[in-house]
Chains A and B, each alone.
Chain A
Amino acid sequence: MSFFVRFWGVRGSIPTPGPQTQRYGGNTSCVEVEVDGVRYICDAGSGIRELGIELMSSNLGKLKAHFFFSHMHWDHIQGFPFFGPVYVPDNHFTIWGPKTGDRRFARLLQGQMHSSYFPVDFQDLGGTIHADDLGDGDRVVDGVRVRVFHQHHPGVSYAYRFERDGVSVVYATDSEIDLDLDDPDLPMRDSRALRAVPSDLVEFCRGADLLIADGQYTDAQYPKFVGWGHARATTVTDLAVHAQVKQLAVFHHDPMHTDEQIDMLVKHCQDRAERHGSDMLVFGAREGFELELGQQF
């Protein structure tokens, strides 16, 4: 079995090209999971454009891919009309809704391509695009078990866990975990204390080979943005420690953060995990990184 994860867009809110974001990258959310040649695309932020270019230049023949959206905020869908493979006849895409009968994501993608916003109508895309759903939130899609988890975000968002033969990745962006905690400020009083995280979320992430999680804010920033739908990086670190994941990719970088600021934020999380006896690898999600999961380290 082969199990790859590729980061095409890791930035939150809005694309931020420029010299200060060159290393981590300025494209908005898009992560590709490829298991035995089948592609599972998480979100269609501006990063998906590069994925499209890569796929179009790879001469793979007919393309089949599954789309999973965390939610429909702009930074997670804005790249879709620029994803070249959807214009190619014979390519086939499924847009998965998170629960039985839920086809909103497909409808909203169509709306984004209304002539008021974009010159090409959704109906004129050459590829075949159809909508399906994950039923009760746990379904096998082309041999990969996909589970869904409801998250705290304005208008709701969803995390997905992709698993095959004991190898797993959790994609959990745009989630304000702090609002689900009984005592989110505990580490402000006791820097050595680990926040208690809801057990259902911990179990959802349990033992993942890779957790990709929204860690947009520093501890100092967060109080100014309560209710905006994003977590403190130290909170997702606490989640990852509880869930004993193998690797944590801090994701959805703040558009105001430079590469150096992300370095500092990630270092803080690494130190925190280490202080709590965790040997997981913590790193900042970065455009252009491709990881192979399930390998022995």
Chain B
Amino acid sequence: MDETLDGKLAFAKTEATDISMLPKRLVRRPHMFQIVEGDIPPRTIPLTRDTMVVGRSNQADVRIMTADLSRMHMRVERTRRGFKCIDLGSRNGVYVNHVRVRSAILRDGDHVQLGNVVLMYHEGS
């Protein structure tokens, strides 16, 4: 038994642990969209840049080829309050949890609808 600084008795001794198999650093999970509805294959879209544009155009950073989307439909940008989605004047709008927004700060689990495509936002770590 060891005595701690505050005078209490500690009954368990420190055991040595082999940490050589642990990862050298914590794995960070990126913020991402997951396509959860729409006439396109499901996939995840990591938000790896500070600003990304979603749309049909080949100039868009994230290209989603369905007729409901405008060529430059939505911008997603990193802000001090979190990622923000911004409608770029799209024909069918940007809906966050069914509310048509011009812009919104996104939170984990939000559903962002662009035409018939629904993206689920996952906050990273």
Check A283–B81 contact: CB distance below 8 A: no
Check A288–B100 contact: CB distance below 8 A: no
- CB A96 to nearest CB in B, in angstroms, measures 26
Q: Pick the contact of A292 from B80, B82, B102, B108 — CB < 8 Å?
A: B102
Contact partners of A53 in chain B: CB under 8 A? 80
Q: Pick the contact of A283 from B80, B97, B105 — CB < 8 Å?
A: B97
Q: Pick the contact of A50 from B81, B99, B103, B110 — CB < 8 Å?
A: B81
Q: Pick the contact of A281 from B93, B98, B108 — CB < 8 Å?
A: B98
Check A288–B102 contact: CB distance below 8 A: no
Asked if B64 CB lies within 8 Å of chain A CBs, one says: no
Given A50-B81, A288-B81, A288-B84, verify A281-B99 contact (CB < 8 Å).
yes
Contact partners of A286 in chain B: CB under 8 A? 104
**Complex alpha-carbon distance, A288 and B98, angstroms:** 15
Check A288–B104 contact: CB distance below 8 A: yes
We find that the number of chain B residues with CB closer than 8 angstroms to chain A is 20
Contact partners of A4 in chain B: CB under 8 A? 102
Contact partners of B100 in chain A: CB under 8 A? 291, 295, 297
Check A22–B101 contact: CB distance below 8 A: no
Contact partners of A247 in chain B: CB under 8 A? 99
Check A23–B107 contact: CB distance below 8 A: yes
Check B102–A283 contact: CB distance below 8 A: no
- Can you list, as one digit per residue, whether each of B74-107 has a CB less than 8 Å from chain A (1) or not (0)? 0000001110100100000100111111111101
Q: Pick the contact of B102 from A281, A290, A297 — CB < 8 Å?
A: A290
Check B98–A287 contact: CB distance below 8 A: no
Check A289–B99 contact: CB distance below 8 A: yes
Check A290–B99 contact: CB distance below 8 A: no
Contact partners of B104 in chain A: CB under 8 A? 286, 288-290
9 nearest A-B pairs in the assembled complex, by CB-CB distance: A288-B105, A292-B102, A290-B103, A23-B107, A290-B102, A283-B99, A289-B104, A289-B101, A288-B104
Which residues does B use to contact A, with CB under 8 Å?
80-82, 84, 87, 93, 96-105, 107-110
26 pairs from A and B in contact (CB 8 Å cutoff): A4-B102, A23-B107, A23-B108, A23-B109, A23-B110, A50-B81, A281-B99, A283-B97, A283-B99, A286-B104, A288-B81, A288-B84, A288-B104, A289-B96, A289-B99, A289-B101, A289-B104, A289-B105, A290-B102, A290-B103, A290-B104, A291-B99, A291-B102, A292-B87, A295-B100, A297-B93
